[in-house]
Amino acid sequence: MPEPRKIALNSSLVRVGESIFAALTPDEIAQILDFLFTALTPDARQQLLDHLPPDTRQTLEGILTSPVAAGRAEAASTPPVSLAKLAQLWAELWRAWDGVVSEAAQENGTYIVQEAHWEPPYFDSVTFIEDLEHVAAKMLPLLPTAFENSFDPNLGFAEALRDAEEEVSSALPEWIPIVDGLYLGRHLTACVLQWEWLLTLAEDENAFDFAQYIREWESAFSHVHLDSGTVIDFLMQLSEAQQRTLFDGLTAHQASPTWKQPLENLRSPWHAFYMHGIERYAPERYLDHLRPTISQRWQNGLPIIASCIAQENYQDSLTVIEETLAALLHTRPGETSWTPEASLLFSRIGTRYGDADHPESPSVLLQYYQQTARALDQFQRASALELQLIAFDHFCDWQIMFQAFAEITVPEETRQALFQSWQHHLIEQATPSSSNFVYRQTASDIWWLHWLIESIVDSHKGPLWFQQALTQWLTSLPGKRLAVDEDLGYLRLLTKDTMNLDDRRIARYPIFYQVVIAPRELASPDDASRQAYLQQYGPDDLWDQLMTYWQAQLHRWVPDPKLAQQSNYTGHARWMEALRELAPQSYETLLSQWRVDHRRRRNLWQAMDKLGLG
């Protein structure tokens, strides 16, 4: 590019200009220029413009004809900026970039963080990249102009990132490694892509050549990772012809060392673009390319299975179903495969099986499985899959599940296995996981929920057997002393369910309900069904039995202030408040004891005073 022409000014004027810029602030210089341009005659202004380089003249003419210069009130568009000014901004931004990298290469720099004095320091790669991202956001709009006009420094961003990576990693001591990688944001990634694309066009190359360069850079980086979303967005914004060229190149080189791994990796933007290209340009190959990815994303098996069923190719459908189930359940090689007769799929995976991009329910897979089993005359398996499907839709509805287990014809061994699977998951969900103070439960304990389910399914037992077992357990609680710890969670759940059957019970003891029973800690998806059966099968005086126990024994469960952590007694005071509500006499007795045993615990009595206790 030719050198820009310079204004022919004598040396004395140049020295005056330099002296002005050295002596005055930008605001003062702006005031002088405002006056000078106002005082210049049209001929003098034209003479000045005629002596300027073309770019400088064009920029100045744009400023002089803008609404602001003309004194008009309407908002002006972005004011023109000369190439020289843009080049200056470009150089300043690269200096800012170098400053960030230089600081990151300091052993005691701001990017070395130590959370606590006893913890080892680490390199804060997140903040480092965020600071570079802030610089890149300002560089991105300048990038096309900088490339076209070869601004100094004429440096590619991929090269700059590799240099930064090497400078930082080599400067840091071995005991402060870059552990988590350097994951670029969208502006940094866009700068890399746009610069390399402009180089590609300047060298009269195509989109596949561009992709090759990007892959070479990705392989050259040790810690740097491009933002996948930005990469795929960039590729999708290429022209139709360039996208087709890229797709054809990827197809021709899909087995090469450069492309095999990224094209098979579902997390790679190259895979996403390639699958998009297959779907668009070669749809007949789409399912063939989708099948190898099932192990990475189980949902990818669904369209393949649907295609097999549509073609009545049920044996292949069964094979893909087994592959898809293995991916869904993360079955490792050598492990026993899941079968519909062994356990409920819902109990294995619950409701957390999809993501925002692939929300498909495994129930769709089970429907395909059932359709395939029927076509292959596997009728017992199809019946087991009917139970599986009902569980997905009605797992927490006891009545529907009991009815399904009773009415659907399956071998008794299958029925027992699936019922045990359902019961175990149900009890596991309802089992109180922990208390803030004294106990921890496991689903392996045998407790009243087991008895309730057993009394429902065993016609020889029924409500009377459950009532006797429950009453016997409640009667034994006061004599268990310390061993009763393991029963506290079960007792709280039983009390919660009983109180929820009648809102007046909650209204009578609201503090006890919120503090001791803590219903939010005990919520489970089958609350409504469980409580309905408890009301039907439980003893009529269950509420009275429970309150008799709590009123006599709650003082034993008030947490000991000696166990307080960091002198925080808020929970202890709230339990005392619940005790006063439920058993005032026991409250007075325990309060008198605390006044002796804990008289020096100032924070305890402050917490008590806040609740009007003591």
Quick check: is 154 in a domain? yes
Is residue 234 domain-shared with residue 89, that is, in the same domain? Answer: yes
pLDDT grade for 434, boundaries at 50, 70 and 90: low
Q: Is residue 411 part of a domain?
A: yes
Query: Bigger pLDDT: 534 or 50?
Result: 534
Residue 283 lies in a domain: no
pLDDT greater than 90 at residue 205: yes
pLDDT at 158 over 50: yes
Q: How confident is the model at residue 16 (pLDDT cuts 50, 70, 90)?
A: low
Same structural domain, 91 and 230: yes
- Together in a domain, 146 and 42: no
Return the residue matching tokens 């967005």: 233
Eight-state DSSP code of residue 337: P
Show which of 361, 395, 429 is a domain's final residue: 429
Considering the domain architecture, whether residues 467 and 401 belong to the same structural domain is answered as no
Please report the pLDDT score of residue 236 as a whole number. 96
Residue 560 CA to residue 438 CA, distance in Å, equals 10
Residue 224 covered by a domain: yes
Over residues 428-452, the mean pLDDT reads 71
What is the full DSSP assignment across 63-105? HHTSTTTTT--SPP-SPP--HHHHHHHHHHHHHHHHHHHHHHT
CA distance 192 to 59: 29
pTM of the predicted structure, to 2 decimals: 0.72
Same domain assignment for residues 567 and 484? no
Using the 3D structure, point to which of 398, 429, 460 is the last residue of a domain.
429
Q: What is the mean pLDDT of residues 49-65?
A: 62
Task: Determine the Cα–Cα distance for residues 127 and 123; give it in Å rounded to an integer.
Answer: 9
Residues 410 and 529 placed together within one structural domain of the fold = no
Instruction: Tell me the mean pLDDT in the region 173-184.
Output: 89
Q: Which domain, by its residues, includes 578?
A: 561-614
Q: How many domains does the chain have?
A: 5
Residues 94 and 207 in one domain: yes
Together in a domain, 163 and 27? no
Residue 440's pLDDT band (boundaries 50, 70, 90)? very low
In a domain, 357, yes or no: yes
Q: 17 with 44, same domain?
A: yes
End of a domain among 530, 557, 584? 557
| pLDDT number for residue 9 | 42
| Confidence tier at 340 by pLDDT (50, 70, 90) | very high
Regarding beta strands 224-225 and 112-113, do their DSSP bridges make them parallel or antiparallel, or are they unpaired? Answer: unpaired
> How does pLDDT run across 545-558, given as a tens digit for each residue?
999 999 999 999 99
Structure confidence at residue 2 as a pLDDT band (50, 70, 90) = very low
Q: What are phi and psi of 113, to 5 degrees?
A: -120, 140
Q: Which residue has the tokens 């090689």?
A: 333
Q: What is the pLDDT of residue 45?
A: 63
Domain for residue 356, yes or no?
A: yes
Q: What is the DSSP string of 547-560?
A: HHHHHHHHHHHSPP
The answer to whether residues 55 and 196 belong to one domain is no
pLDDT at 511: 96
Geometric angle at alpha carbon 259, from 253 and 263, rounded to 5°? 105
Q: Are residues 546 and 567 in the same domain?
A: no
pLDDT digits (tens, 9 = 90+) for 97-111: 999 999 999 988 999
Strand partners, 513: none
What is the model's pLDDT at position 445? 77
**Residue 436 forms part of a structural domain:** no
Tell me, what's the pLDDT at 271? 95
- Check residue 25 and give its pLDDT: 73
pLDDT reported for residue 108: 85
Q: What is the mean pLDDT of residues 525-539?
A: 96
| pLDDT of 193 | 97
In a domain, 53, yes or no: yes
Do 101 and 38 lie in one domain? The reply is: no
